[in-house]
Amino acid sequence: MDRPGYASCKADCPHFAKAELLADYLQINLPNFKIHKITQHSDKWEQWLHDICEKNGWKHKRSPIVWRELLDRGGKGLLLGGFNDFMEHAQHYYGITSDMLSEQMLRIAKENLQTHIEIEKEEEYIKSLINPLQVWISSASSPACYNLIPLLANGEVFGMATEVSIHLLDSSHYKDILHGIVMEAEDLAFPLLRSVSMHTELDNAFVQADIVILLDDILLQHKIPSLEDCIRQVTEQCKVYGSLIEKNANSRVKVIVSGKTFVNLRALMIMTFAPSIDGQNIIAVAMFLENAAKAMLARKLNMNSAGVKDVIVWGNISGNSYIDLSKAKVYRYDSAIWGPPNFSRRLLDMIYDGNWVHSEFAFVLSSLSSREHHCLGMSPAHVIATVLRYWYQDSPPGEIVSMGILSEGQFCIPEGIIFSMPVRFQDGSWEVITETEISEETQEALKHLAHDLIQEKQVALGEIPEMRPYKESAFNGFDLLALLEEENFQTPPEDLVTSSGGPNYKKGEIFYTSTELLIHLASLKVKFSGYQGKVRHNHINRTLSILTENPFHHLYFGSLTDEQIVDGICKPHHNTMTNS
């Protein structure tokens, strides 16, 4: 045989293993026999086989496929057939066959698949050295982007052998700011920063993108009639971005959604309007809230926040979330018991003030969204860089990372919503830590949180006209602002007021000072957050701000339960609430 032969197969095809051994024997022992072997991953085999057969006018449906290139006739291929055809050809022309056992065939097929995967990884690595990683950042005029660029370009995120090209996307109103950022980034002279470019036209957004980072660029109108209108406006923006990512980005693009505005919903809508992108590659960043919780816990314990691990953020990252400390641990904590660096202790065992967790801790975390609005972008940038580093280089072994992902029913969470839950990063992907045990209290909280996210999704897709509160029969909405703006408070009963003006408590009667009400409202906000929407969330923060700036002596609630207080806040019972 003085013309080259070709054999192609699925990488894990056992029949190819036997044909390959016979072809190698013929090539070694026959001076003019040449064989070229082509392996394809199982996922790509069907399409590759269809293309090669269509090109040459063949009909073949199984692995392997063997053909001869007739070079002296213009290079047209002559199909020999499959495994049996090749064995008969070798037997007829050369009097040689193979007696490989089935067990050997399967073992070699497994080795072939592993080799093929390793070769593919090596080829991708070599390509990355030639073609830089294309990173697109939306809302690039924001402080978070300014702080993020050096972190992406210094080699710590993607590795010291991977160059990056960064594309800055924003409105033409911020053209001057983008130009300044580009010039500063070029002045840094990072060896791995191939280029930095600015873009203000949406038509060419996300072209050949390997990574898309969507910062908080949903520009909401100053006056939004309702929460539902806000959701619809966000959905329209995501429809534009999702369609562009679907059209222009690489098929394996990784999309990271960050910010403080509808983070879960935005990730879900990008997934909806970019259906060909693998859902595994679209995530919502929850680490900002996770790190803030760790920092606050560390301040309480007077230790470094890096020593606080495994704090879990459940639910809606930029809305109603549940901070789970049941698995949290502390390392290198200065106490009576001391151990090596890997020695840890349960965090809740170190915090003896349980009321602090349910009051001040909950209150500060509930106001994080407004705090992030005023931050300088250092923390969000660090969080995004950390998530990307974990994605490309794995998260620390045994450590829990909170991340918003598409639910598939884990932890009894309804399918089809983006929900923050515990994950780990490994081998370029992530997986949910499904072995995490949760309490009945946590499970009930997850039902509240899932309800809100389902409602957001239904409003966004036009399935329902407005949000409905969780357990609507019990709760009727939330308008804390109405309580403090109400001027016609009645005075408390005379027999409850002492000569000094302070309260004289009766059994079952409730008074609050300004400070006490701040703490109590924050705890109620966490307790009954399941039905709370974005606009109402802002009302609560404003209310607490008003309380801080305009303190009063005492507020009288009579003998109301927490549930009745919440209902009273929604529809004030003037006969029981008094500004003293």
Report whether pLDDT(434) > 70.
yes
In the block, residue with structure tokens 């300004």: 514
More confident residue, 486 or 73: 73
More confident residue, 343 or 115: 343
Between the ranges 103-117, 497-511, 561-575, where is the mean pLDDT highest? Answer: 103-117
Its sign, for the CA torsion 466, 467, 469, 472, is: positive
Nearest CA among 410, 432, 435 for reference residue 422 = 432
Contacts of 118 (CB under 8 A, 6+ apart): none
- The pairing of strands 312-315 and 321-324 is antiparallel
Query: Which amino acid would we find at residue 399?
Result: E
77's tokens: 């291929």
The 3 state secondary structure assigned to 271-332 is HHHCCCCCHHHEEEECHHHHHHHHHHHHHHHCCCHHHEECCEEEECCCCCEEEECCCCEEEC
In the block, residue with structure tokens 């269509």: 54
pLDDT tier at 114, thresholds 50, 70, 90: confident
Question: Is 397 buried (19+), middle (13-18) or exposed (0-12) by CB count in 10 A?
Answer: exposed
The Cα–Cα gap between 460 and 466 comes to: 10
pLDDT at 489: 34
Omega prior to 64 cis, within 30 of 0: yes
Residue-wise pLDDT tens digits, 169-178: 999 999 999 9
Of 202-216, 282-296, 511-525, minimum mean pLDDT range: 511-525
pLDDT at 542: 53
Q: Is 315 left (phi over 0), alpha (psi -120 to 50) or beta?
A: left
**Rounded percentage of the chain residues whose pLDDT exceeds 70:** 71
Nearest CA among 288, 257, 484 for reference residue 373 = 288
Nearest 5 degrees, angle CA 127-CA 133-CA 134? 130
Of 84-93, 383-392, 418-427, minimum mean pLDDT range: 84-93
Return mean pLDDT, the chain. Answer: 77
**Rounded percentage of the chain residues whose pLDDT exceeds 90:** 43
Report whether pLDDT(204) > 50.
yes
The Cα–Cα gap between 531 and 98 comes to: 70
Residue-wise pLDDT tens digits, 544-571: 555 555 554 444 444 555 555 544 443 3
pLDDT at 518: 53
The Cα–Cα gap between 33 and 2 comes to: 6
Q: Is 248 left (phi over 0), alpha (psi -120 to 50) or beta?
A: alpha
More confident residue, 527 or 21: 21
